[in-house]
Amino acid sequence: MELSGKVALVTGGASGIGKASSLLLAAEGASVGVLGHTAAEAEEVAAHIRDSGGTAIPLIADVSDEASMSNAVDQLVHSFGSLDVVLANAGINGVWAPIDDLKPDEWDKTIAVNLRGTYLTIHLAVPYLKAKGGGSIIVTSSINGTRTFTTAGATAYSATKAAQVAMVQQLALELGKHHIRINAICPGAIETRISDNTFKRNQAEADVPAVYPEGEIPLTSGKSGTAEEVAEAVLFLASDRSRHITGTPIWIDGGQSLLR
């Protein structure tokens, strides 16, 4: 129970990496605010945690909307009294298309969810972390935009993921004096439902042909990682075992980004 007595906020907590992280953080003793944009899914994860003997509440918000995010963070702190761990995980793949085909509203949507959502999550959580005297922020970035640039048409997505790592490194210095650590996890191919919000159009026009060895993930002979494996890294960064680590991206991809 490494996180006993801690309070955690997990955005995008109702599915994929966020769900796996919510379950693991709760299993290690944290009280978890499971934030999602769909009430039924957030409540399902929170109920599962409670049924397993843990503590959790569902929080409903659009991470790109200041008012709903402010209400959600305030609700969490009102319920549990403080905030110690933040996983800014909510994100979308958005539209992948050639730059001259990618529409401004499609660009804006990806930026709003992935980048504005990360900003608002951190912006609203930091005052509570400062009040507690410290804490840990983990941002879910990606191998895209940080190590790899071969996903055809993923310009908006890659830009947000690169910007998230820049935010982490910038804020590591700003927040260090408040004993707040901030790090990024950069998953590769992980078995999640993010493909549900991926929309591909005319990708071939933006593609650069490349031949990869059989299985693009060396460590697992091509098999994708799991959300639970990413959650283990989240737990490490949330716990005191990573107390001297800040401003650091951690690639969780089985070596995939080293090939691509």
Q: Which residues are catalytic?
A: 157
Helix axis angle, 155-176 relative to 117-132, nearest 10°?
20
Minimal CA–CA distance to 25: which of 250, 249, 243, 228? 228
Separation in Å, CA 89 to CA 21, 209, 220: 10, 31, 25
Q: Which residue has the tokens 């995980």?
A: 89
Minimal CA–CA distance to 77: which of 62, 65, 59? 59
Lookup: tokens for 233: 């890294």
Please give the Cα distance from 39 to 72 (Å, whole number). Answer: 12
Please give the Cα distance from 124 to 95 (Å, whole number). Answer: 28
Task: Put residue 3 in one of left, alpha, beta given phi > 0 → left and psi -120 to 50 → alpha.
Answer: alpha
CB 164 within 8 A of CB 91: no
